[in-house]
Structure formats: C-alpha cells, structure tokens
Amino acid sequence: MTRRILSLLLSLVLLCATLGAAAQEQEPVTLRFTFWGSAAEKNAIEALAASFHEAYPYITVETQHIPSDYEAKMSAMVAGNEEPDLGYVRDFMALEFAEAGKLYNVLDLIEADDSLELEDFAEDFFLYWDEGKAYGLYTAGESYALFYNEAAFEKAGLDPLPTSPEEALTWDEFLEITQKLTLDRNGRNALDPEFDSSKIVQYGLRFDFNQGAYMPLVTANGGSYVTEDGQFGLNQPEAIEVLDALGKMVTDYHVAPSPAAVKSLPSTAISLTTSQAAIIMIGQWVLLDLAESGVPFGVGVLPKINADAQYVTSPGWGTVGIFTSTEHPEEAYLFWKWLCDPVNSVEVHKAGLWMPLMSEWYTNPEYVSLWAEDNPAHPEGYTEAVMMPLYEHFAKHPSAFVRNFAEIDAIVLPALERIFMGEAGAQEAMDAIEAEVEPLIEGTFGN
C-alpha cells in the first residue's frame, strides 16, 4: 500500500475518532434504509451501516432488506406515507417520485457541502429529472459484461473471452462459442448433429429478458427504446437486428434457456457456478456472489451484433434516494454521502458488489489498486473488460430518462417473451405492440 493511501486511511481514522467524540453530544437519531439484493448483498449493506454507526455513534441505521417485489413494496410505502428516510429506488420510479417532490435534489446538498465537489463524481452517474435537478447517482457504478466458468471453457478447449472492447467478438464468433459450450445429457454440444435440445444440462449462455440484456447491444447498434422524434424504437431495424439475434440464440440454436426453462434453473450466479450455464451476460454486481462461491471464473467484454457496432455497456437501474419526508435530512445525507464515498465502502467495492461513483477511483492507479486488482472478485482482465468500459463506453438504460417507462415496459416485456418462446419473430412481436405503446410515449425527462 502506498504512502499516500496510508495517509488517506489514517486521516479517515482520525476523522472518525473526532466525529465520534463530537457525536456523543448529539441527540440519538434512527434512520430507516431499504434495499434489495442477495443474501451476500444484505450482509455487505449491514456491515456498511455498522461502520457508519461507529463513525457517527448517535445515528443508528435500521436496514430493511426487501429481496423480492421491491418496486411494489416501495410503491405501497410511498402511497401510505411510510417511505424510509432513504433507500434504493428503481430509476423509473425515482423520476416520478422526484418530479412529485418526494426526493431531494442531491445537487443542492452537494453544493452546500464544503467537503464535496460535484466534479468529484463521474458526471455520467448523476440521474436527472430536470435541468439542474438530480435525485441521486446510481446506487453504484455497474457495468454489463460476460462472466464465464473457467472449467467449462477448459473442458471445451476454448480460449478465454476477449477483455478489450476493440477485440469484442462478432455475433457469429460468439454464437459458435456458445454452441460449443451447450451440452446435452450425453455430452454432445449444440454443433453435433445428434445434439438433443430437449435434454440440455449446460447452456452456453444465460441472459435476463429485460433492458439489461438487450439495450446495451441495441444502443451499440445505433438503436433506441424511444426515438428522438417520439416514435417506438424497438421495432426499428437497429433494434430488430439485436432482438432477432438474441431470440434465435434461444429458439433456433438452443444455446440459451427460454423464459419457461429459466423457471427451473437457480439464480443466474448459481447457474454459472454449478455449470448449468457456461457464460452469463449480466451486471458486474454478480461478482460478489461469484467470488463467494470459490468457483474459478473469468470476465469478457460484450459481443458486437456486427462489425460496425460501437462498444456500449450500461449500468444498473437503481439509485439511493433521500426522501423529503425524512425527519432527519442532515443525518440521512450523511449516510448517503458515506455510501457514495469509496473510502468508506472500499471493502464492498473490493468484494465485487459495487464500483465507485467517484472519477479518481477509475483514473488513479493507487485507488484502482485498492479495490479492482488482486482479489477473488476481480480476476485478470477485469479493469479492461468491466471497469474502464463503464467509464469510457457508457450509455444509460431507457428507464433512466424515458417518461412512462414502467407502463411501456409492461407492454414490451410480454412481447419479448413471445420472441424468446418462439411464438413470434422480433419484427412481428414489436410491430404488434406499436399501436399500444405510442400513445404512452411522452418524451424524456430533462437533463
């Protein structure tokens, strides 16, 4: 560890000691913080709340883990005026909450804070609902990529996936790899003429059937969810090319599980560690669970739908929002700032759950070494394949700026399922919902 980093950490310890002494004179405050995530994420967040309490003994953070149906439960809390002081919020929900005055503008809070500058954060990570108004940053930096089971690759005689965006696989190259990795119960892969697609024991690829899987590829291909002139974007050629290619991975080539097949599989992370899927295409938060499993895995960049496509990765679709209904806004902001500062949460970043929100933790090798190198959650190639693409090839999901996203996506998701179940081609499925979607298109939130 460098002298500079040691000095930084020593300063933090001294600061915490000073704050702790001062805090003894404060009135006790309890904050409620809600969040989603796996059991591993629950443990990580609880540890963060405990470390915050050590620094501010007068503030107790009661964590409320909501592992399923989070959006519905958060909506019910807000409707019943029982929202937490702060907590995870899906970006499409936060947009509406903020516009209704239910979330603080964090730009105002940061500008009033002498210890922080807006420039400390990566600009792309702020989430705006109007000009000069941001309800937060992403919960953390996140980056979509490929994660693969090393043993499955070795058994198939395959080279590691490329980690450079400039060397991203073409779709045909990627398809061939997933075919070699898809195995039936007799050990035949999907290229074998006698392959039995009804008895698959290992899929070459697993991906989710939501914007996280297809939108980075659509955006890279020049497509959009909603076009700049207010039209439905997913039935345009750039998007159809991607949806068609993904659909055929499931229906024609049988290298990825259908929505029906997914129901009989464990979580995405477990499907990789148990060799039920050789590659998963997902956000980097999965690293926390992969590292805890102890199963050797590697990382790679997303494939390109064609040679002309740009390279794009996308973050998750959540924020930590501070609700204006809190009776303790100063203390809520302190915990929000604590979560945002990698110095406080370096162990969570090192464990693979989060990526930093502050620019210097991507650009300064001393800071990068603290979290992204030489640990089980960040294998060789991570900084090139996952970390830097987020900083240099970033595109927000449509849920972060499209008005009425939840209502539109409620129509889109069943249409996508038709594609992945082989009930309709991509063009047919998207054209069929265009008339229903277009009345809901009302532009984007300003930034």
Segment 141-184, tens digit of pLDDT:
999 999 999 999 999 999 999 999 999 999 999 999 999 999 99
Residue linked to tokens 């209502």: 407
Runs of H (alpha helix) within 56-82: 70-79
Task: Give how far Cα 345 sits from Cα of 44, 58, 267, 320, 373, Å.
Answer: 9, 20, 26, 14, 16
Query: Under a CB-based contact definition with an 8 Å cutoff, are residues 445 and 130 in contact?
Result: yes
Query: Under a CB-based contact definition with an 8 Å cutoff, are residues 282 and 144 in contact?
Result: yes
Percent with pLDDT over 70 in the chain? 94
Q: Which two tokens stand for residue 204?
A: 């070459």
- The 10s digit of each residue's pLDDT in 309-347 is 899 998 888 999 999 999 999 999 999 999 999 999 899
Could you tell me the fold of the domain covering 3-141+316-392?
Answer: D-Maltodextrin-Binding Protein; domain 2 (3.40.190)
Task: Give how far Cα 8 sits from Cα of 13, 21, 206, Å.
Answer: 9, 20, 41
| Cα dihedral 287/293/295/300 (nearest 10) | -10
Answer yes or no: is pLDDT of 17 > 80. Answer: no
Q: Which has more confidence, 447 or 444?
A: 444
Structurally, at CATH architecture level, domain 144-315+397-440 sits in: 3-Layer(aba) Sandwich (3.40)
- Residue 231 exposure: Cα atoms within 13 Å on the Cβ side: 9
pLDDT at 151: 98
123 band by pLDDT with thresholds 50, 70 and 90: confident
- pTM comes to 0.90
Query: Under a CB-based contact definition with an 8 Å cutoff, are residues 86 and 336 in contact?
Result: yes
CA-closest candidate to residue 387, choices 370, 363, 408: 363
- The 10s digit of each residue's pLDDT in 180-212 is 999 999 999 999 999 999 999 999 999 999 998
Cα(227)–Cα(445) distance, integer angstroms:
14
pLDDT at 23: 46
Choice among 12-16, 54-58, 394-398 with the minimum mean pLDDT: 12-16
Answer yes or no: is pLDDT of 447 > 60. Answer: no
Ranges of each domain in the chain: 3-141+316-392, 144-315+397-440
- The Cβ of residue 128 has, within 10 Å, a number of other Cβ atoms equal to 19
Mean local confidence (pLDDT), 371-383: 96
- The 10s digit of each residue's pLDDT in 291-315 is 999 999 999 999 999 888 899 998 8
- Sheet strand arrangement including 206-207: 206-207, 279-283, 144-149, 297-300
Q: Which two tokens stand for residue 269?
A: 């992370």
Answer yes or no: is pLDDT of 22 > 90. Answer: no
Q: Is 137 helix (H, G, I), strand (E, B) or coil?
A: strand
Q: Does the fold of domain 144-315+397-440 match that of domain 3-141+316-392?
A: yes
Answer yes or no: is pLDDT of 13 > 80. Answer: no
Answer yes or no: is pLDDT of 1 > 70. Answer: no
Mean local confidence (pLDDT), 41-63: 95
Query: Under a CB-based contact definition with an 8 Å cutoff, are residues 85 and 322 in contact?
Result: yes
pLDDT at 2: 44
Cα(441)–Cα(439) distance, integer angstroms:
6
Strands (E), 150-232: 183-184, 200-202, 206-207
Runs of H (alpha helix) within 141-200: 150-156, 171-181
pLDDT at 10: 42
> How far is C-alpha 165 from the chain's CA centre?
19
| Three-class secondary structure assignment of 234-269 | CCCHHHHHHHHHHHHHHHCCCCCCCHHHHCCCCCHH
Angle at 294 between CA 292 and CA 300, to 5 degrees: 90
Cα(80)–Cα(21) distance, integer angstroms:
38
pLDDT at 38: 85
CA-closest candidate to residue 419, choices 170, 239, 266, 275: 239
Answer yes or no: is pLDDT of 138 > 50. Answer: yes
CA-closest candidate to residue 207, choices 283, 282, 289, 299: 282
The amino acid occupying position 169 is L
Cα(161)–Cα(153) distance, integer angstroms:
9
- Containing 223, the helix (H) or strand (E) segment is none
